[in-house]
Structure formats: C-alpha cells, structure tokens
C-alpha cells in the first residue's frame, strides 16, 4: 500500500468471511422473494412478514458483526472485501468499514426495520412497497460501506429510485410534485459528485477508483477547490444545506410517515457521511482553507431552519425544517477541524437519526387517527391520546437538546469543538457560538408551541374519540427513544464506535501544511 495514504486508510484488515456483502445484499435478496409469494398480492401480510424477517435478520447480523468482529480501536478500514467486478473500467466490489461508517450502517438497519414495522396501514401494492424498502436498505448499506468510488456512486444513485417511487405512489395529494422535485435536486447534485470524483480519480499518474488511493492524492490549489465545491454542493443537497434544502419540506410533507422516517433518519446522514469521507478525508488541505465558509453555512442552516419552522402550519413540514436546522450542527462540527468537533458531528448524525425518526413516527400515529397534519385543525389530543402525547413530547425534548438526552450531548460537543479550536480567532469563535446558540433558543419555542397547539387548547369535537397508541406502536416508539436516553446518560456507547476514526481524521487535518491553516481570514 502507498506509504502516503492518509492515516485513516494506512492499515486495513481483510475479512475472512464476506460479512459486509451479506449485510448489504441480504435485503435485496429478500426483495426478490416478494414477486413469487403465494396469493394474488393484495394481502399485505405475506410481503410485510418477509420484509420484517429479512430486515430483522440483517439488523441482528449488523449488531453481531460490529460488536464482535469489528475493532473500534482500529482507525483503518476493517472487514475489507475486494473483488474485481468490471476490470475494463476499473470497477471493484470493494467494501470496508471504519468508525465513520459502522455506526451509520447500524442506524440505517434499525430505522429501516422500524419503518417497515410502522407500515401496517399500507395496503396499496404491498409487494412493490415492501420490495422498494428492502432495495432501499441494500442501497443505504452500500453507500456507507463502498470503498470504490464508482460502486459508491451507483449505490448513491440506486437509493434515489425507491425513495422517488415511495413518495410518488404512496404520498399525499401533491406527491408527484414532491417526488419530481426530490429527484431533480438529487439527480443534478449527483452529476456534480460524479464529475468531481472522476476528476480526482484521473488527477494522479494513473486512473483509480479506489477511494483510499484517491485520498492519497489530496490535491490542493484551484483543482482541489473545484473538486471540493463539487462534492460540497452534491452532498449538501442530501444533507440538506441552505439554499439547497427546499426539496425536503415538500418531500416530508407528502411522504407517508415510514418514508419520512427513512428520509430523516438515514438519507440526510448520507450527506454528512459523504462530506467526511470525501471533502475532509480526500481534500484535507482545501477543507482547512474553506472551513470558515462551511461554518458560516452551518450557522445559516441552524438559524434559517429554525425561523422557517415557525412559518409551518403542517406538523411534518415543521419537523422537516427542524431537521434543516439540526443538520447545521453537523456542518459546524465538520468545520471545527478538530477531534471534538468531528466527534460532535458524528454524534449529531446518530442522535438526529433516532430523534427525527421518532418524531415522524409519532406524527404518523396521530395522523392515522385524525387524518390531518394541519396544526390549526388539531387540539385537545392530550386527553384522548395521552401515551402518544408523552412520546411526542419526549421526542421534542430530545430534539431541543434537553440534558440527559442524546441531542444535548451531540450539540454541546460541537460547541466545545468550536471553542477549543485555537486556530480560529477569538472574535470569530464568539460570533459563531452566539449565532448558533440562537438556534438553540428558537428550537424549544417552535417545538413546544407545536405540542401545545396539537395536544392542548380547544378540543376539536371530531377528534374526541380517537384511539391511543397500540402495543406495536408503543414498541416502535420505545425502540427509538430508549437509545436517545442511553446515549444521553452514557455517550460512550456511541462515541467508542467512532472515536478512533474521528481522532485520526483530526490528526490528518492537523498534519496539513501551515499555509493551509493560515490562509483563511478567520484563522490565525
């Protein structure tokens, strides 16, 4: 292996068994079973049972592999699998896991399984619906595990198709508009990702699609900046980053609750993961130069998302704008260019994935009873749905970073990352912290006011006899909320998974030439 490879990829551990391929391909194999199930396909129970069984096996496999085989104290790639697939174009079936990918793979498996468990009311084309969710599960895992750029890009594109169809077929009244907007934004962004990746693959003495070898080239100058900006815009759409976020409220507003769980719990995390994998790991020198600009974008995300949430009278659209705000903390953590900041960004992705999925799930619960998401058309639900209210309030408290919950730990870690970065001048740090704190102040206002209007206030007569959460729904809600409490009180559960890798990534940034650090205006 090239001696110049960055520390994250300097040593890799091959796998004696194709664990990662099994994790990635098992859901897709399950999807192939659905068309041959007995019956006419109108009964959703067989397809749902297959999807639940396959995804449960896949989730258990993830937990076993990443708890027993994966070594958290090793910063390089592990469980590496490399098979030549299409040698004529240099494409390899190349998978590997490290601290950046392992926790997100587990998060993806958990949220996807719970999304299927939450899809009890889906009766329209059930085989297609659950088949798309299974295909989505495979594509998500491949995005986090691929170590060949073209394989990564194919997985990135593949996961767009199920989401588009899930919104376009099973969404609300404006589903075609929302689905088309989603696919246009993400497809155009993918073009920038492809161009930037291929440019980086061609930049050395030889063409390579191996992501570790691409990272070893680490170009700077104008070429590096252009590649960085291409990746930033491409991945920023999925994050989503202002002003590339406008597809998200529409997609959430029209998607059903299980698909919204996937969008918020997994898809947004792909953008944050890709920024770490490409922008930071492959272009560290350019990242140091542009970190202040990235921090400004993160602050804009936080404040704009929070302010925009106030203007939404639709519950799901308000939560979607809240996601824009919270993902701004991921940008802040990445821009802090130290181990604390990057660790906070990772923890924020894990935390937000759980909390946002819980919020959209509980929203789906009371939408199934009330048939409305309009905040002005709801009121007094706390008396008839006390358990649902308790879960929604707990999810909101986690989202507004109440101490004792994972959101507090992740956001305070990001703040500590900014304050401990001495490369930034003191005025720049103070301004950044004060502005970001505005988002923390606004969050409880728009979330708790939504709780008050939905669950208290004048009771709507038509909603006076709705039922509360069922045991199945209660189990799903607990499965999402308990980890936020565990991480909130014992954050090492999550941090131990990725700390070695985030520290190595911060060391990579610290090893860059001083000129890269001193060239940006707010750095000194």
Residues of the chain below pLDDT 50? 1-10, 515-521, 523-524
Q: Does residue 38 lie within any of the structural domains?
A: yes
Q: Indicate if 271 and 351 belong to the same structural domain.
A: no
Indicate the DSSP class of residue 148.
Answer: B
Q: In 171-264, where does DSSP find H-type helix?
A: 175-201, 211-217, 221-238, 247-254, 257-262
Q: In this structure, how many other beta carbons lie within 10 angstroms of the beta carbon of residue 44?
A: 20
Shortest CA distance to 228 belongs to which of 32, 440, 236, 464?
236
Q: Indicate if 247 and 302 belong to the same structural domain.
A: no
Q: In 255-337, where does DSSP find H-type helix?
A: 257-262, 268-274, 284-310, 315-335
The tens digit of pLDDT for each residue in 201-236 reads 998 788 899 999 999 888 888 999 999 999 999 999
Q: Report the number of distinct structural domains present in the chain.
A: 2
pLDDT at 323: 93
Q: Indicate if 179 and 326 belong to the same structural domain.
A: no
Domain span at residue 343 reads: 290-524
Q: What element of type H or E holds 63?
A: helix 44-64
Q: Does residue 66 lie within any of the structural domains?
A: yes
Could you tell me how many residues make up the chain?
524
SS (H, E, C) 341-393: HHHHHHHHHHHHHHHHHHHHHHHHHHHHHHCCCEHHHCCCHHHHCHHHHHHHH
Shortest CA distance to 421 belongs to which of 329, 288, 325, 300?
288
Q: Indicate if 266 and 305 belong to the same structural domain.
A: no
Q: Indicate if 261 and 390 belong to the same structural domain.
A: no
Q: Does residue 462 lie within any of the structural domains?
A: yes
Q: Indicate if 372 and 401 belong to the same structural domain.
A: yes
Q: At what angle are helices 284-310 and 426-455 packed, to 10 degrees? A: 30
Q: Does residue 223 lie within any of the structural domains?
A: no
Q: Indicate if 59 and 128 belong to the same structural domain.
A: yes
Q: Does residue 212 lie within any of the structural domains?
A: no
Q: Indicate if 379 and 254 belong to the same structural domain.
A: no
Q: Indicate if 273 and 294 belong to the same structural domain.
A: no
The tens digit of pLDDT for each residue in 444-478 reads 999 999 999 888 877 777 666 678 899 999 999 99
Q: Indicate if 483 and 419 belong to the same structural domain.
A: yes
Whole-number Å distance between alpha carbons of 160 and 144: 15
**Which of these three, 278, 300, 333, is where a domain ends?**
278
Q: What element of type H or E holds 471?
A: helix 471-489
Q: Indicate if 58 and 143 belong to the same structural domain.
A: yes
**Which of these three, 222, 251, 278, is where a domain ends?**
278
Whole-number Å distance between alpha carbons of 429 and 102: 32
Q: Does residue 326 lie within any of the structural domains?
A: yes
Whole-number Å distance between alpha carbons of 2 and 125: 51
pLDDT at 38: 82
**Which of these three, 251, 278, 305, is where a domain ends?**
278
SS3 497: helix
Q: At what angle are helices 339-370 and 406-419 packed, to 10 degrees? A: 150
Q: Does residue 219 lie within any of the structural domains?
A: no
Q: Indicate if 370 and 267 belong to the same structural domain.
A: no
Only one residue has tokens 């008050």, namely: 452
pLDDT at 236: 95
The residues, ordered by sequence, that sit 6+ positions from 21 with a Cβ below 8 Å of its Cβ are 81, 93, 95
Single pTM value for the model: 0.93
pLDDT at 5: 43
Q: Does residue 214 lie within any of the structural domains?
A: no
Whole-number Å distance between alpha carbons of 299 and 330: 10
């Amino acid at each position: 292996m090239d001696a110049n490879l960055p520390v994250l990829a300097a040593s890799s551990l091959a796998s004696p068994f194709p664990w990662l391929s099994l994790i990635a391909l098992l859901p897709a194999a399950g999807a192939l079973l659905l068309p041959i199930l007995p019956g006419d396909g109108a009964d959703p129970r067989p397809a749902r049972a297959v999807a639940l069984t396959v995804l449960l096996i896949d989730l258990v496999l993830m937990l076993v592999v990443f708890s027993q085989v994966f070594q958290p104290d090793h910063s390089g790639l592990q469980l590496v699998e490399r098979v030549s697939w299409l040698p004529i174009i240099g494409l390899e079936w190349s998978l590997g896991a490290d601290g950046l990918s392992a926790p997100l793979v587990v998060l993806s498996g958990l949220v996807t399984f719970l999304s299927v468990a939450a899809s009890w009311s889906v009766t329209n084309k059930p085989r297609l619906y659950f088949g798309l969710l299974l295909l989505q599960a495979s594509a998500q895992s491949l995005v986090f595990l691929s170590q060949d750029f073209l394989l990564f890009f194919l997985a990135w594109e593949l996961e767009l198709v199920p989401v588009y169809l899930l919104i376009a077929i099973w969404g609300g009244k404006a589903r075609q508009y929302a689905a088309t907007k989603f696919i246009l934004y993400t497809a155009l962004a993918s073009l920038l990702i492809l161009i930037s990746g291929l440019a980086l693959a061609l930049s050395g003495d030889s063409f390579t699609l191996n992501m570790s070898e691409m990272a070893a080239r680490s170009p700077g100058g104008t070429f590096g900046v252009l590649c960085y900006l291409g990746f930033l815009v491409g991945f920023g759409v999925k994050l989503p980053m202002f002003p590339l976020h406008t597809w998200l409220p529409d997609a959430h507003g029209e998607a059903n609750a299980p698909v919204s769980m996937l969008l918020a719990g997994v898809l947004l995390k792909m953008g944050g993961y890709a920024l770490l994998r490409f922008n930071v790991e492959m272009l560290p020198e350019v990242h140091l130069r542009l970190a202040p600009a990235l921090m400004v974008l993160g602050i804009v995300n936080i404040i704009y998302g929070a302010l925009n949430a106030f203007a939404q009278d639709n519950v799901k659209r308000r939560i979607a704008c809240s996601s824009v705000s919270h993902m701004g903390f991921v940008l802040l953590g990445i821009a802090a260019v130290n181990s604390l900041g990057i660790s906070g960004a990772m923890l924020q992705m894990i935390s937000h994935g759980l909390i946002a999925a819980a919020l959209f799930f509980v929203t789906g619960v009371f939408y199934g009873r009330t048939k409305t998401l309009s905040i002005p058309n709801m009121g007094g639900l706390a008396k008839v749905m006390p358990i649902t209210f308790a879960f929604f309030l707990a999810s909101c408290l986690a989202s507004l970073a109440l101490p004792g919950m994972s959101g507090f730990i992740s956001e305070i870690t990001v703040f500590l990352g900014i304050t401990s970065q001495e490369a930034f001048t003191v005025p720049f740090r103070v301004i950044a912290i004060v502005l970001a704190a505005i988002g923390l102040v606004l969050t409880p206002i728009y979330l708790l006011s939504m709780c008050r209007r939905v669950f208290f206030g004048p009771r709507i007569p038509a909603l006076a006899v709705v039922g509360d959460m069922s045991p199945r729904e209660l189990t799903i809600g607990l499965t999402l909320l308990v980890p936020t409490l565990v991480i909130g009180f014992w954050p090492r559960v999550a941090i131990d998974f990725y700390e070695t890798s985030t520290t190595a990534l911060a060391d990579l940034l610290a090893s860059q030439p001083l000129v890269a650090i001193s060239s940006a205006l707010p750095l000194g």
